[in-house]
Amino acid sequence: MPTPCALSWWLLLGLMLCQQVLKGQKQTGSLEFVYHSQQELESTLKRMNEEHSSISYLHSIGESVQGVPLWVIVIGLTPKAHQVGVPDFKYIGNIHGNEPVGRELLLHLVHHLLTHYGQDPNITALINSTRIHVLPAMNPDGFKVAVPGDCDGEQGRTNFHGVDLNRNFPDFFTKNPVPREPETQAVMTWFRSENFVLSAVLHGGAMVVVYPYSNDEGGLTGEIQYADEDVFQHLAKVYSFAHPEIQKGNLCGDTFPKGIVKGAKWYPIVGLKGRVLDSAGKPVPEAVLQILNRKDSLSHRTNALGEFYKLLLPGNYTFQVEAKGFLPLSETVQVTDSTDSYSANVHGFVVIKKRKLYPRPWSSFAAPWGAPLHL
């Protein structure tokens, strides 16, 4: 059993899957269910992109230590560019080179999405309303030296420099002194180039959905509750309950009792999205949104387009919107289950500019009778 995988603070949701998944080799359409070499992965992505060029975009976000491109395929109606109101989602696989199941699953996910667009109404609606970014292999150098069938070893876990990429990102609670590797730097630059609303990283070695954070101020107690933990837990359960094996919570020799909660009501899509605009309809970037009537909720900042995306469970929330040069705004919004619309609830906030106090010209201080007033 490999060392348990921890997630860095900014990775919203981690998904760990058993390596046993690939025991049976099956055909899925034109994509074989086998491990793909880096060349095969690259040619498969290129082929899928060419065959579905109107809804996909393939680009490299950088290179591994050994110069292998880190391919990201984007799926959406406007794959090359973000559109207002369309949330961006990302998946990362194979961060540990010897955990290749996620790499293959993501390749199949891409294939499934692209080949079912226009055929399956759910997938069509998903692609019409979301922009999905997939990096199937973050550690191609590690994958190259991993030993097939070795389920207990460490070979290929790290990158070419021997660095565990999953522990190479900045840490929310403590300073991570490890220098950033090329793969990590590429991924961090990629993160900054988009406004990702939700993310998942696929590991191998255990069957459990891990949600933030993987450490805390007290070390690794897992006892401290953090902002939006209910939302993280809910999202993790959406994953685990969709999987007939993960939800059992006791596979691969591990026990994850928190993976099982019966009788709860699940909403596949939760949240509120929209823009902060001024009274002339212009977007207000860098506006800070906070929820006043919710304990421990992460604040959000609007992007250059004035957009915000806030993951929430249904309920009534009082937002406070603050932006430099504008009067603070407080507004209560009802967030409902919007499953059928394939969208989060949409709401716009309009903020009013603070009145500027210009020094008045001397003449305006004139007394009513016209004589100058000496102040």
Residues that bind Zn ion (CB under 5 A): 5, 96, 99, 203
Both tokens assigned to 100: 């290749």
In the complex with Zn ion, which residue's Cβ is closer, 4 or 67?
Answer: 4
Q: Which residues, at least 6 apart from 191, have a Cβ–Cβ distance to it below 8 Å?
A: 10
Q: Least distance in Å: CB of 302 to Zn ion?
A: 34
Q: Concatenated DSSP letters for 89-146?
A: EEEEE-SSTT--HHHHHHHHHHHHHHHHTTTSHHHHHHHHH-EEEEES-S-HHHHHHP
In the complex with Zn ion, which residue's Cβ is closer, 96 or 310?
Answer: 96
> Distance (Å, rounded) from C-alpha 325 to C-alpha 156?
52
In the complex with Zn ion, which residue's Cβ is closer, 96 or 237?
Answer: 96
Q: Least distance in Å: CB of 8 to Zn ion?
A: 12
Q: Least distance in Å: CB of 158 to Zn ion?
A: 11
Q: How many CA atoms lie within 13 A of 235 on its CB side?
A: 21
CA distances from 295 to 221, 278, 302, 336, 349 (A): 21, 28, 21, 19, 22
Q: Least distance in Å: CB of 108 to Zn ion?
A: 19
Q: Least distance in Å: CB of 249 to Zn ion?
A: 19
Both tokens assigned to 338: 């919007």
In the complex with Zn ion, which residue's Cβ is closer, 181 or 228?
Answer: 181
In the complex with Zn ion, which residue's Cβ is closer, 1 or 298?
Answer: 1
